[in-house]
């Protein structure tokens, strides 16, 4: 199977966690897109969705799936999203698509977070995939210098602006042995909106599409 076929397979399988009248958090990226397409088949059974990006909101609306404003929602029942890297401890690196901040907000408000990915995303140690950091534009160079002090090599994702009007630094060369600690450290730098480590609020369930079916880690 190709990676995309595995993403489609796992996205469809994740529907088993959807129950009647749920409010569902929706991630961003190709795996989330497969999930949205699969969800369309049962859209009449759910109450609505909260999208983590404009792109996902647009795709949901194209299927006539209701998209709710998070400010009108007290709690999201369950959140489905992909990842760029995941460990067996359910710590993730996210933000390859640049939607990390809204994804982190949706994850925070959700009772359960189901991460769906193809099996190439499972790693022993996070950090081979460059860690995205969303920064306030005027702080970009300052944050980059601070990240260098922590051993990272930040690269500005040029010609990209997030849904929140900010910039992204992709940080190479990090060996993330202590994800919770690094997530906190990076978020304390002035000008950082958030970083793509999902360790303080990890996934609750990791579903991986593999050649031999779905692997579940929880
Ligand atoms: C977007 C993300 C995505 O979940 C991540 O980049 C994985 O994407 P894909 O499902 O296309 O492999 O964090 O900001």
**Does ligand 1 lie within 6 Å of residue 94's CB atom?**
yes
Cβ-in-10-Å burial (0-12, 13-18, 19+) of 218 comes to exposed
CA-nearest residue for atom 8, ligand 1, is 29
Cβ-in-10-Å burial (0-12, 13-18, 19+) of 184 comes to middle
Confidence (pLDDT) at 48:
98
Confidence (pLDDT) at 175:
82
If you search the block for the tokens 């996902």, which residue do you land on? 56
Binned at pLDDT 50, 70 and 90, residue 80 comes out as: very high
Binned at pLDDT 50, 70 and 90, residue 28 comes out as: very high
Pair of tokens at residue 62: 């194209």
Looking at the chain, the whole-number percentage of residues with pLDDT higher than 70 is 100
CB 117 within 8 A of CB 31: yes
Annotated catalytic sites, by residue?
103
**Does ligand 1 lie within 6 Å of residue 29's CB atom?**
yes
User: Ligand 1: distance of its center to the CA of 218 in Å?
Assistant: 20
Alpha-carbon gap, residue 16 to 176, rounded angstroms: 32
User: Ligand 1: distance of its center to the CA of 27 in Å?
Assistant: 8
Q: Which of 181, 27, 210 is nearest to 122 (CA)?
A: 210
Three-class SS state of 203:
coil
Confidence (pLDDT) at 206:
98
**Does ligand 1 lie within 6 Å of residue 31's CB atom?**
yes
Q: Compute CA distances 171 → 81, 134, 152, whole Å.
A: 22, 11, 6
pTM score above 0.75: yes
57: how many CB neighbours lie within 10 A of its CB?
19
Per-chain mean pLDDT for the chain: 98
**Does ligand 1 lie within 6 Å of residue 56's CB atom?**
no
What are the pLDDT digits (tens) for 95-138? 999 999 999 999 999 999 999 999 999 999 999 999 999 999 99
Pair of tokens at residue 25: 């958090």
| Ligand 1 closest atom vs CA 117 | 10
User: Is the confidence at residue 211, as pLDDT, over 90?
Assistant: yes
Helix (H) or strand (E) holding 49: strand 48-51
């Amino acid at each position: 199977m190709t990676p995309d076929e595995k993403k489609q397979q796992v996205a469809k399988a994740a529907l088993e966690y959807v129950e009647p009248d749920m409010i569902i958090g929706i991630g961003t990226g190709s795996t989330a897109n497969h999930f949205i397409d699969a969800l369309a088949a049962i859209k009449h059974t759910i109450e609505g969705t909260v999208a983590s990006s404009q792109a996902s909101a647009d795709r949901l609306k194209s299927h006539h799936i209701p998209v709710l404003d998070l400010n009108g929602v007290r709690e999201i029942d369950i959140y489905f999203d992909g990842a760029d890297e995941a460990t067996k401890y359910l710590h993730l690196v996210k933000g390859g698509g640049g939607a990390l901040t809204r994804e982190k907000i949706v994850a925070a408000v959700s009772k359960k977070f189901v991460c769906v990915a193809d099996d190439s995303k499972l790693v022993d140690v996070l950090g081979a995939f460059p860690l995205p950091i969303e920064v306030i534009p005027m702080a970009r160079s300052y944050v980059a210098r601070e990240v260098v002090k922590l051993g990272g090599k930040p690269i500005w994702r040029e010609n990209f602006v997030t849904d929140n009007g900010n910039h992204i630094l992709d940080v190479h060369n990090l060996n993330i042995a202590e994800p919770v600690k690094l997530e906190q450290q990076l978020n304390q730098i002035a000008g950082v909106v958030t970083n793509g480590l999902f360790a303080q609020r990890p996934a609750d369930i990791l579903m991986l599409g593999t050649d031999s079916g779905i692997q579940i880690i929880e």
